Amino acid sequence: MQKVYLDNAATTQIREEVIQRMHEALGAHYGNPSSTHSFGRTAKTEVEQARKTIAKMMNAHPSEIIFTSGGTEADNMILRCAVRDLGVKTIITTKIEHHAVLHTAEELEKEYGIQLQFVELDMEGNPEMGHLEALLKQDDSKKLVSLMHVNNEIGNIIDIEHIGRLCSENGALFHSDTVQSVGHYPWDVTKTPIDFFTAAAHKFHGPKGIGFAFIRKNSGLKPLIFGGSQERGYRAGTEPFHNIVGLEEAFVKAYENLEEESKVVKELKAYFVEKIKLELPEVEFNGLSDDLERSTYTLANVRLPFDKQKALMLLFHLDMKGIACSKGSACQSGSNMGSHVLREILTAEELEKPSIRFSFSKYNTKEELDYTIGVLKEFAAG
């Protein structure tokens, strides 16, 4: 039995260079970055260097990078503080956002009585720009638009520049959950009209438990977590120094090797799409995930031609064959509700068939994809 990891949208294998950097940090630099002695100053210097490195590579200011425990915390912080501190009365989003955004917005609606509005989706799962513009112009309330750059389940890529311009023209703030795109696509905050976005290191071969929020200078946001004055006062608590330098290393390596490594992964996805269509002609793709231009190169979400009874055993069968993949976001794996994303874009009949998300990285091979498709074909014939 082979071992094949095709769940990279959930988390990725850590680069060896990142492990080495973190190992050095854990062994040699154990001072508290907030301490004033030499041990603390050394750690603080490394934390601030990481902040400067990440900011420089995105044309941001170091003060605009706030380290968090990951994308979920960063999304929560931005949405909550925008309502609490900036007077946001309306949040505009879609029903296929990550639950870090959806559930936060729903709670804010209960707690603060804000208006929660959803942009209509087209048949492929993209937000309707005309409807978004209409919502922005509907009234004079202070608005925050929150739309994810790359959908974590179906891989659709939104036109983030167009949305940013619409928000700017209509006096709305713009936040994007960019957890699936930071580390995989280039970022220049001087060219993208956006107020806030989020990242998580474990999505681009870094450690879990660390990420960052981009918060545009002079935003007016205040702390969500109170205590010390760490992270420019935005987020109290001793900095996880080893994770921060791991994030920095993963971020630098992701962008130093972006052209070469993205080419490899794009070729893997193209091969997978072509091969599975050939071997299982009845297969369908959810969203735009077989479109190599309009969806991310890191994943494909396939709907397989199996009946409901057979579908119940599919993930178990793949796991028994050593293949790691998923039905959707790992964050909702404990739920029996299925994918909230697919419920919005598929018919009841289509939902009866099993949908599987296969997500790729530079560590995968065509041989692994051949094996996976072979297992699926064998299962279909069984």
In the chain, domain spans: 4-12+258-381, 16-256
Model pLDDT for residues 75-115, shown as the tens digit of each residue: 999 999 999 999 999 999 999 999 999 999 999 999 999 99
Model pLDDT for residues 133-191, shown as the tens digit of each residue: 999 999 999 999 999 999 999 999 999 999 999 999 999 999 999 999 999 999 999 99
- Ordered alpha helix ranges (H), the chain: 16-28, 38-57, 71-86, 99-112, 129-137, 160-169, 241-256, 258-279, 308-311, 314-320, 340-345, 348-351, 366-381
Cα separation values, 259 from 59, 297, 362, 365, Å:
19, 12, 12, 18
Predicted pLDDT at 338: 82
Predicted pLDDT at 367: 98
Cα–Cα dist 51/61, whole Å:
9
Model confidence band, residue 232 (pLDDT cutoffs 50, 70, 90)? confident
Whether CATH 3.90.1150.10 fits 4-12+258-381: yes
pTM above threshold 0.75? yes
Residue 231 in this model has a pLDDT that exceeds 60: yes
Predicted pLDDT at 28: 85
Cα–Cα dist 179/71, whole Å:
6
Predicted pLDDT at 329: 56
Residue 216 in this model has a pLDDT that exceeds 70: yes
For the segment 223-246, the average pLDDT, to the nearest whole number, is 87
Predicted pLDDT at 54: 98
Question: With 0-12 CB in 10 A as exposed, 13-18 as middle and 19+ as buried, what is 218?
Answer: exposed
Residue 330 in this model has a pLDDT that exceeds 70: no
Measured in whole angstroms, how far is the alpha carbon of residue 72 from the centre of its chain?
Answer: 9
For the segment 327-352, the average pLDDT, to the nearest whole number, is 78
Model confidence band, residue 63 (pLDDT cutoffs 50, 70, 90)? very high
Dig out the tokens for 231 from the structure: 């992270």
Predicted pLDDT at 126: 97
Model pLDDT for residues 113-138, shown as the tens digit of each residue: 999 999 999 999 999 999 999 999 99
* C-alpha closest to that of 300 among 3, 9, 100: 9
Cα separation values, 187 from 7, 19, 78, 166, 372, Å:
24, 25, 19, 19, 33
Residue 230 in this model has a pLDDT that exceeds 90: no
Exposure string over 261-277, b if 16+ CB within 10 A, otherwise e:
bbebbeebbebbbebbb
Cα–Cα dist 18/202, whole Å:
11
Residue 235 in this model has a pLDDT that exceeds 90: no
Cα separation values, 9 from 130, 156, 179, Å:
30, 13, 10
Q: Select from 3.40.1710.10, 3.40.640.10, 2.40.40.20, 3.10.180.10 the CATH code of 16-256.
A: 3.40.640.10
Phi, psi of 303 (to 5 degrees): -110, 120
Residue 229 in this model has a pLDDT that exceeds 90: no
* C-alpha closest to that of 185 among 325, 295, 101: 295
How far apart are the two ends of the chain, measured CA to CA in Å? 18
Residue 206 in this model has a pLDDT that exceeds 50: yes
Catalytic, 331? Answer yes
Question: With 0-12 CB in 10 A as exposed, 13-18 as middle and 19+ as buried, what is 3?
Answer: exposed
Predicted pLDDT at 376: 96
Residue 331 in this model has a pLDDT that exceeds 80: no
Cα separation values, 144 from 70, 283, 341, 354, 364, Å:
21, 38, 21, 35, 39
Q: What percent of the chain has pLDDT over 70?
A: 97
Cβ atoms within 10 Å, residue 203 = 28
